[in-house]
Amino acid sequence: MKRVAITGLGLLSPLGNSVNEFWQHIVDGKSGAGPITKFDASKFKTRFGCEVRGFHPEDYFEKKEIKKYDLFSLYAMVASDQALKDAQLDTSTMKDEELYDIGVIWASGNGGIGTFEEQLKEFYAGDGTPRFNPYFIPKMIVDIAAGAISIRHRLHGPNYCTVSACASSNTAVINAFDTIRLGKATIMIAGGSEAAITPSSVGGFNASQALSKRNDIPETASRPFDIERDGFVIGEGAGALILEEWEHAIERNATIHAEMVGGGMAADAYHLTGTHPEGLGARLCISRALSDAGLAPGDIDYINAHATSTGIGDISEMKGVERIFGDLPVLISATKSMTGHLLGAAGAVESIISILSVKHNIVPATINTKTIDEKIPRGLNILIGKSIHKTVHYSLNNTFGFGGHTASSIFKKYAG
């Protein structure tokens, strides 16, 4: 099968709206959490999150275009534009036959949930006459971001969305990887976006006891593995990757950030929202990713854990990790301690972190964690406090979602 290079990266995040700014904040251990400003959250149990700040759609789109799209699609297009620019791919100058071989696989867990809320609110506040926005359906449906990116750049390759809750965008990256390996496209834009800091989303996660309620100290609320963790911090944003057939990237002298070498997916098949208590799904997807890459556990230098700061989830993931890696000196960290949980965009954003780790030989730390829960397997090398410089040949990114969906991807240092 063909080799796959990562040649472009782009993102919007609670820690900055460019890759360089974001990475610097990750290395520095900065928290992106703060009070919710998207709506009046004063009556909610949780009143904080990790919002994208400083994003103004009018800086990127005409007003008539903004009206056509939900915020999650606007995030998707801007992050993809960044990634294409980073990859030095100008689709406006490409021939049609080149555009036929470029595809998009884009993910979201919630799609246009903000649009959905707004339209129903307007309907029930009226006289019952159905006066819906003509863009209601295309703004809301989850696949529309993938379509919008392809329309924006005239891309005619494989085009669809993946929805596997919080594993969605890692799944998208793995699917794009496989698409290129099998020779079905030369270049793929893959990633995910989420704009779900909305009343129904926050209220729903509150009802399921999933969110932290540390309203007095939001910056330190996300504390994966810690004995005092009380739930995840909801986030938003987008992450985009350009995956490219290796020889094509070399031929055009592209900058290669890393090589993607493996991907694995599995299911807990256990519970609607809870992870398998022994980390079965985690163990399966990690082992499948390793097998796909032709690697042994000892080859992995860094694991970006899913670790959302929930009671059961952190423990089950680390049990799965421990079953595979034992007491090997692989470094583990949970960057959701800084970004919050970007739901369907988490896998793509954390893939970017994993890629930059192998590129720059830096392992970011887990912040806010003070005392590791005694139920977390002993012997695991969880990095807490400050990022460190360490040669990273291979990094592994874990992402899991409600419904038992699990996905792991592996990236390799490019030594060219």
Q: Tell me the backbone φ, ψ of residue 329, rounded to 5 degrees.
A: -80, 30
Bridge partner list, 332: 303, 382
Active site residue 285: no
Q: How far apart are CA 346 and CA 397, in angstroms?
A: 10
Bridge partner list, 363: 388
Q: How far apart are CA 6 and CA 359, in angstroms?
A: 11
In terms of Cβ atoms closer than 10 Å to its own Cβ (0-12, 13-18, 19+), residue 91 is: middle
Angle at 311 between CA 308 and CA 315, to 5 degrees: 80
Active site residue 306: yes
Kindly tell me the sign of the dihedral angle through the C-alpha atoms of 348, 351, 355, 360: positive
Bridge partner list, 35: 48
Q: Pairing relation of β-strands 331-333 and 362-363?
A: unpaired
Of 153, 257, 276, 341, which is the active-site residue?
Answer: 341
Of 50, 161, 166, 285, which is the active-site residue?
Answer: 166
Of 153, 276, 306, 405, which is the active-site residue?
Answer: 306
Q: Can you list the alpha helix ranges (DSSP code H) found in 29-167?
A: 63-66, 71-86, 96-99, 113-125, 136-140, 144-153
Active site residue 405: no
Which residues have a catalytic role annotated? Answer: 166, 306, 341
